[in-house]
Structure 1
Amino acid sequence: METNVSEERQLDVEESQALTPPKKGGWITFPFITVSVLAVSLAVSGGLTNIIVYLIKEYNVKSIDSAQIYNIVNGCTSLSPVAGAIISDAYFGSFPVVAFSAVTALLSLILLTLTAALPTLRPSPCPVGSSICETPSAGQLALLYISLGLLAVGTGGTRFNTITMGADQFDKPRDRDIFFNWYFIGLYAGAVLGGTAIVYVQDSVSWALGFGLCAATSAISVIVLLLGVRFYHKPSAQGSPFTDLARVVVASIRKRRIAVPPNNLGYCYGPGEAGKPPSSSSNVPSQSFSFLNCAALISQGDTHPDGSIAKRWRLCTVQQVEDLKALIRISPLWTSGVVVSVLIATQNSLTVLQALTMGRSLGHHFTVPAGSLQVVTLTATAIFLSLLDRLLLPLWHFLTDHIPTPLQRIGVGHVLNAAAMAASALVERRRSAIVHARHAEGQAGWIVPMSALWLMLPLAMTGAAEALHFPGQVALYYQEFPQSLRSMATAMVGLIIAAGFYLSTAVVGLIRRATNWLPDNINTSRLEYAYWSIAVLGMINFGYYLLCANLYKYRRVADMGEPNQR
């Protein structure tokens, strides 16, 4: 009898296990997501890093114009992830957006490969420096721009959403932290490989083969991502916090004439708490930007009998109002970060033009591609981040008994960025002096007898600065944003990078119109003046940053474990 009972219990357990769906997520998803990130990062980096050289050599685009196009494309690839994050949060969830974007990136790289493989899709070749070149037709440029636009869309859905998708697979914070570390390792490793190995193939073997390898790698990314689909935990979309912010703006405008009641009465504090102040003062409307407080005032018809909100575009909670205020308070600091990004974007594009005219040979059989020099910044950032984590910050703590605040780290990054621009100006001054000396001696030629390795110093300084101010900004936004908006921390940095590339295009265009410093022939330019100008801009921006930082008050000082220091 006991045997029969135990057998029946075993059968019941087996049946219940069969009926219960297997648990999704966990470490089984880790290899699929990480390999996919590595592959797509390599593909996108290989497709974009050498675009300036591709436009000059294969499409006969003038050098400064190529740099401008490169800045616009990079701005799109930095801005599109913000749109991807909003769409993911509000409508579809992370996985569908990541999968769609990965396929879009593959399609874009296939089109880019076709532009390199089929001569009819490009103008006739033209020697570098020649003044008579066939310009690309409207159709040729249209196909090129479509492929680059699709690549921006593909980047938009994968860069931030893959982080969210990976974090959704883990319940424990420690597991998520480990995933984040490996995510960035995969992202950086792919970018370095794409910016070196793929760019070398493009420059030394074949553009078609180089872009084809990017497309093949992108296909691997899609396949690996889809192989893990049955293991992924896919939470449904929860709605975008941007919608709540928009509601506050609309509601405050609609209720701008309503008188504010005394003693914090008449505000909506949340479900079941309409019209009465909470026991804690933490959610009482603050007096800063008090014109927004009316968005939380309850008027007739705004709530149901149970106290829940009936008209969401006319009534918001006090917390939603305070969330918008937090963004407004931090926006001046955010704008100072945009100027830093302008400096970085300008240096990246102009350095490629300098490298094209300098000696890039290492030994007798290897030439460093001009586009690969940008990897120096990425590598320096990774190295300096490791030094900060393992050496510099612990040493600072030992000497001063506290860790630098995010605002302090950002400030040091500002100064280093301006110093990097000054270093670029000094290197260019030396290169320009050699050019003028050769012309005085009657020597012609496009290539200047000066090693492009000199450009590594300012690029490395920029990388060290990025290791300070970009992570510092993420830490600041994550620390200071309300809980509902913390997912926007990385998106804010993405907006900074995108705005920097767009404004860099405007700054370079302004310099070209106002001066004769940037002609198409870089060897007849006064590029060092342009570098000095943006170095001065960086120092002026640092003064603006100091003003903003001194006026800013940390909202969550307790989270920092130290006094309110700037």
Structure 2
Amino acid sequence: MTQYVPSLKPCSTTPNTCDHASKVHEVVFFIAAYLVALATGGHKPCLESFGADQFDDNHSEERKQKMSFFNWWNVALCSGLFFGVTLIVYLQDNFGWGVGFFIQTITMGASVLVFVLGRPFYRYRSARGSPLTPLLQVFVAAITKRNLHCPSDSSMLYELTNSEKLEGRRLGHTDRLRLLDKAAIIEDGEYNGATRKNQSPWRLATVTQVEELKLIINMVPIWLNCLVFGIGIAQGSTFFIKQGSAMDRRVFKHFEIPPASVYTLTALGMIASVSFYDKVLLPYLRRATGNERGINILTRIGIGMVILIISMMISALVERKRLKMALQGKMMNVFWLAPQFLLIGIGDGFSLVGMQEYFYDQVPDSMRSLGLAFYLSVIGVGSFLSTFLINIVDYVTGLKGGKGWIGKDLNHSRLDYFYWLLMIMVVLNMCVFVFLAKNYKYKTVHRSTAVGDSCNGEKTEEMASV
């Protein structure tokens, strides 16, 4: 609308002579930008968790397909990103922003229509109220019973039996955060089943509810650790592109690619790494390790962090070379940035997909959408922290009349120093991550599994880490 409605356009004059955008245009522009952010935060975690919920955890083949879901989800996202920073950017540069926005509007409308038409075929999970209430009940019950002693045998703690109605899957007991186990202690007078059934949930919780709270508490250090990684990957869509704008972007004699289009290399790197992992590495790793996932989730995230470190190192070396050539009046070709763009995309294929799996699988079953919101917050908060770090670095390095590392003109900045700083931060963060990963206990569930591939309809229950 800001491109076609005269009163909403940036200026009443021609764009080339427009010095300041009108206030009406600024208001409409920022409303649109925040609506995009609101829509992304609202639909993306829900849609992704809804897609993963279409697979049955108790069916071995569907469970394996579910582990590949996040891989192909990201392939689809990167394919959209590829067309967005190539075709759409080209149309916007050559035919106007209105054309690009109109095509995206039509595409989103078609996507919503396809989603709605599939409603009769989806699997739905019944709503069970707020997922935060049971966690708060465990906390209150544990504080109330803080003076009681936990039994040495965890089987003496309260848990629903198989014959009783249980919402979600039963979780296995862990020995960590034993203080919370007190919420499941059966007090005198509660040994009768009917008495326990009528007991207030703010006084007595099940082992599964206690373990769900433990999962959230154990997830906090991993989330905080991933924020530093979020700072690193934020450079791919910011300073990497800014580097490209200061380089020779001519592909042919009369064809110059837009700076944003260089970001397609990140999408291609992620598509390649995810496809290779799912179709080549994963089957081999399953046979070699006997693990359905091939490798543990945190191991996959760690591999992505290592690749990010290499990407930061290459970025610093390339920027240093670019600065030397700029001082000589020369311009480097933009494809010198290809290694760092590709590497950050390959790393995302391990780390970002791993984070999606982690924040989906390691939260309580009733909090999967919220878990994927935690994943998105890693990227969002990481971007804010990146801006905060840039401001601090610019202020500190510019003290006492010094030459700041980060300026509007890259040729008079030292962006390579900033990349080295990021690399050191990610290395230190990686050391903490390794410690957390080694001591992390994955969620264990009581899972119903069909005997004989369901040929005779008999089922058995087993404990499994996910």
Could you state the TM-score of these two structures normalised by the residue count of structure 2? 0.77
Secondary structure class of the residue paired with 1:362: strand
For 1:231-280, what per-residue CA distance to the aligned partner results, in whole angstroms no more than 9, with x for missing partners?
65655423343332233334434x16543364669854248999xxxxxx
2:75–2:274 CA contact under 8 A, matched in 1:
no
Letter aligned with residue 27 of structure 2? A
Selected match of 2:226 from 334, 337, 358? 337
For 1:18-74, what per-residue CA distance to the aligned partner results, in whole angstroms no more than 9, with x for missing partners?
xxxxxxxxxxxxxxxxxxxxxxxxxxxxxxxxxxxxxxxxxxxxxxxxxxxxxxxxx
2:236–2:263 CA contact under 8 A, matched in 1:
no
Question: What corresponds to 2:450 in structure 1?
Answer: none
Secondary structure class of the residue paired with 2:205: coil
Gaps of 5+ in 2: 165-169, 398-403, 448-466
For 1:125-180, what per-residue CA distance to the aligned partner results, in whole angstroms no more than 9, with x for missing partners?
579xxxxx945565543322211111122223332323444456677775683893
- CA 1:257/1:144 → structure 2, altered by over 3 Å: closer, same or farther? same
1:304–1:310 CA contact under 8 A, matched in 2:
no
Selected match of 1:521 from 401, 409, 415? 409
Q: Distance in 2 between matches of 1:453 and 1:116?
A: 40
Selected match of 2:375 from 482, 493, 498? 493
Structure 1 residue 512, shift from structure 2 partner = 1.8
1:417–1:465 CA contact under 8 A, matched in 2:
yes
Deviates more, 1:474-483 or 1:358-367: 474-483
Question: What corresponds to 1:154 in structure 2?
Answer: 39
For 1:192-218, what per-residue CA distance to the aligned partner results, in whole angstroms no more than 9, with x for missing partners?
212221111122321121112212222
- CA 1:183/1:542 → structure 2, altered by over 3 Å: closer, same or farther? closer
- Alignment partner of 1:463 is 2:354: no
Structure 1 residue 293, shift from structure 2 partner = 2.8
- Equivalences for 1:11-26 in 2 at 5 Å? none
2:359–2:375 CA contact under 8 A, matched in 1:
no
Secondary structure class of the residue paired with 2:77: helix
For 1:305-346, what per-residue CA distance to the aligned partner results, in whole angstroms no more than 9, with x for missing partners?
553255334443222111111232343333322211210112
Could you state the TM-score of these two structures normalised by the residue count of structure 1? 0.64
Selected match of 2:212 from 292, 299, 323? 323
Question: What corresponds to 1:536 in structure 2?
Answer: 424
Letter aligned with residue 299 of structure 2? Q
2:236–2:344 CA contact under 8 A, matched in 1:
no
Q: Distance in 2 between matches of 1:191 and 1:513?
A: 34
Q: Distance in 1 between matches of 2:157 and 2:130?
A: 23
- CA 1:261/1:352 → structure 2, altered by over 3 Å: closer, same or farther? closer
2:55–2:62 CA contact under 8 A, matched in 1:
yes
- Equivalences for 1:211-230 in 2 at 5 Å? 211-229=101-119
Letter aligned with residue 159 of structure 1? K
- CA 1:196/1:461 → structure 2, altered by over 3 Å: closer, same or farther? same
Question: What corresponds to 1:354 in structure 2?
Answer: 243
Secondary structure class of the residue paired with 2:197: coil
- Alignment partner of 1:429 is 2:316: no
- CA 1:256/1:121 → structure 2, altered by over 3 Å: closer, same or farther? farther
For 1:356-398, what per-residue CA distance to the aligned partner results, in whole angstroms no more than 9, with x for missing partners?
2222222134322211222211210110122223444566678
2:229–2:305 CA contact under 8 A, matched in 1:
yes
1:267–1:298 CA contact under 8 A, matched in 2:
yes
2:142–2:180 CA contact under 8 A, matched in 1:
yes
- CA 1:333/1:359 → structure 2, altered by over 3 Å: closer, same or farther? same
- Equivalences for 1:97-108 in 2 at 5 Å? none
Greater share of helix residues, 1 or 2? 1
Q: How many residues align?
A: 427
Selected match of 2:299 from 404, 408, 415? 408
Secondary structure class of the residue paired with 1:552: coil
- CA 1:368/1:175 → structure 2, altered by over 3 Å: closer, same or farther? farther
- Alignment partner of 1:368 is 2:253: no
Secondary structure class of the residue paired with 2:256: coil
Letter aligned with residue 219 of structure 1? G
1:116–1:207 CA contact under 8 A, matched in 2:
no
Structure 1 residue 494, shift from structure 2 partner = 2.3
Between the two proteins, what is the percent identity of the paired residues? Answer: 31
Letter aligned with residue 514 of structure 1? V
Question: What corresponds to 1:96 in structure 2?
Answer: none
- Equivalences for 1:389-400 in 2 at 5 Å? 389-392=278-281
- Alignment partner of 1:202 is 2:84: no
Q: Distance in 2 between matches of 1:525 and 1:168?
A: 48
Q: Distance in 2 between matches of 1:215 and 1:496?
A: 28
Structure 1 residue 549, shift from structure 2 partner = 2.5
- Alignment partner of 1:259 is 2:143: no
- CA 1:397/1:231 → structure 2, altered by over 3 Å: closer, same or farther? closer
Question: What corresponds to 1:25 in structure 2?
Answer: none
Question: What corresponds to 1:384 in structure 2?
Answer: 273
Structure 1 residue 347, shift from structure 2 partner = 3.4
Selected match of 2:181 from 290, 293, 300? 293
Q: Distance in 2 between matches of 1:122 and 1:414?
A: 49
Secondary structure class of the residue paired with 1:307: helix
- Equivalences for 1:28-39 in 2 at 5 Å? none
For 1:82-122, what per-residue CA distance to the aligned partner results, in whole angstroms no more than 9, with x for missing partners?
xxxxxxxxxxxxxxxxxxxxxxxxxxxxx565699943469
